[in-house]
Amino acid sequence: MTHTAPGFADPVLPAALDEAAHRCLVAGFRGTTTVPESLKRLVDRGLGGVILFTRNVRDADQVRRLTGTLRALRPDLLIAIDNEGGGIGHLVAAGAPEVPGSWALGAADDPALTAACADALAGHLLSLGITASYAPVADVQSRPENPIVRTRAFGADPELVARHLRAWIAATEARGVASCAKHFPGHGGTVTDSHHELAVDPRPYDRLDLAPFRAAVEAGVPMLMSAHVVFPALDPDRPATLSPRILSELLRGELGFDGVLVSDALEMKAIADRYGEAAGARLALAAGADQVIVAVPDLDVTLACRDAVLDALRSGELAPERVTEAAERVRRLALRYAAPYRPGEAAAWDAEAGLTAARRAVRGAGPLPRPVPGAHVVDLFPPPHPALHWGGEDLLTQWRLLDPTATGTAVAGEPEDAGTVVEEVLRAAEGRPLVVAVCDAGLHPWQGRLRNALLAARSDALLVSTGLPEPGGALCAHGRGRVNLRAVAEVLTGRTS
């Protein structure tokens, strides 16, 4: 492999093609106040975008200074972040608006409310100098065993998902922020998380969940993100991110999408373990992607991906026309959203929209239960996903803000000695109402065992679900973002402040 001097254009390729290749990259990095020198050199050569994570966020003023520094390096640099709302968000420390996840918005099923939540998120991004949001999730939660989409989806009905996508995209666009529907052509029909291994959706073509993506394209979404999922009905050999049949023929040809198609992160094991990030970058661009994301802060990985693309251009393995076409789409996107940047136009947003939506999403099998003051609250939930930010929210914290007399236990992950936990809970809950909350107990059997053991001893316990609805008449929050937990606590304490 031939490496070029880090700060200079490739000596073999035309300067315009070298810049085009760099426009096709989105890089993660480490830092809150300074920009690494290796990232500056990438920006000098035309880097198309950066992706921010919790590691880049300390507070709102710091984020503004950081995005200002990045924009001073290159005004048309796209500055992006995952910003779905709910329990997944990197801007908690920067004062992000509190909105529920998409499943709760689908449960409330009020597109105007979804638009208000999307507007709040986009307005906040604009105020921080962030110009692109890798949201909304267009996946349909099609299989109960799916481990990664779940409450990130608006629902299990493609038409409902499409309805809320349109509202989200329109509201984000009205703010001048680029939205990105993901993960094409859908991740909700798998039983595998592509962060950990290659996922497969075995359904025939006519049962795939393409309707929301068609709706997103028709709504003018400026970006789509591909899924690291194999669809044998479309291409039995390659995941969508690397498949010309899926990206070029289906998405470009049949759905008519002409915006920027960005890959999901290449370091996810579905790509990294089977192909390697560098080969993944080359194959994704050849297949029809316009940008590839390397989200890890190790810029050597980004440089390896860049070098693989440049080598493929030199050898003729990657057509210059394909990269030039991709870079032109990125350039148009940047001119529309990134430059010129006008932060002064970020008007106020509805700070109460998220809590309103979360309250409307709280549902039970029948009438809502009576308040239970002074309860003992047991919150069972899986540990945070390593690739998705989780702010550490727990039900007990929100509950005690409303009822300081409440006690409780938060169990984040399977305990070593479940029997001891059950004994301690029953002892602490003696003489008190008992509330048992689970989050996707069907995926995490340890939660079901703990719940059942507690119910065997306390048949009067109230059940709460903070994930997908559970059988057995549990009160459903439809998500475990902070406002979801707050809304449940309001119902069961009978208090709002």
- The catalytic residue among 124, 183, 195, 444 is 195
CA 216, 222, 228, 233 torsion: positive or negative?
positive
Across 59-149, the runs of DSSP E, i.e. the strands, are: 78-81, 132-133
Q: In DSSP terms, which residues pair with 50 in a beta bridge?
A: 27, 79
Could you give the residue ranges of the DSSP H alpha helices within 145-257? Answer: 158-174, 211-218, 244
In the chain the first and final C-alpha atoms are separated, in Å, by 63
Q: Is residue 440 within 8 Å of 414, Cβ to Cβ? A: no
The first and second tokens of residue 98, run together, are 């509190």
**CB-based burial, 220-241: b 16+ in 10 Å, e otherwise:** ebbbbbbbbbbbeebbeebbbb
Residue 454 CB-half CA count within 13 A: 33
Angle made by CA atoms 72, 55, 274, in degrees to the nearest 5: 100
Sheet of 292-294: strand order equals 132-133, 78-81, 49-52, 25-27, 292-294
Cβ neighbors of 40 (< 8 A, separation 6 or more) are 73
Residue 103 and residue 116: Cα distance in Å, rounded?
15
Q: Maximum Cα–Cα distance for the chain, whole Å?
A: 78
**Cβ neighbours, 10 Å, residue 40:** 18
Sign of the CA dihedral with 81 first, then 83, 88, and 93 last = positive
C-alpha 466/C-alpha 380 separation (Å) is 9
Question: For 87, how many CA atoms within 13 A lie in the half-sphere containing its CB?
Answer: 31
At residue 44, the 3 state secondary structure works out as helix
Q: Which residues contact 351 (CB under 8 A, 6 or more apart)?
A: 97, 120
Q: Could you tell me what percentage of the chain is helix, strand and coil, using 3-state DSSP and rounding each to the nearest 5?
A: 45, 15, 45
CA distance 372 to 474: 15
Q: Could you tell me which of 261, 259, 258, 298 has the C-alpha nearest to residue 278? A: 298
- 195 counts as catalytic: yes
Q: Decide if 237 is catalytic.
A: no
Q: How many CB atoms are located within 10 Å of the residue 12 CB? A: 12
What are the angstrom distances between the C-alpha of 176 and each of 132, 169, 327, 337, 492? 9, 11, 21, 6, 40
Q: Which listed residue (76, 264, 290, 440) is catalytic?
A: 264
> How many residues are present in the chain?
497
Q: Which residues does the annotation mark as catalytic?
A: 195, 264
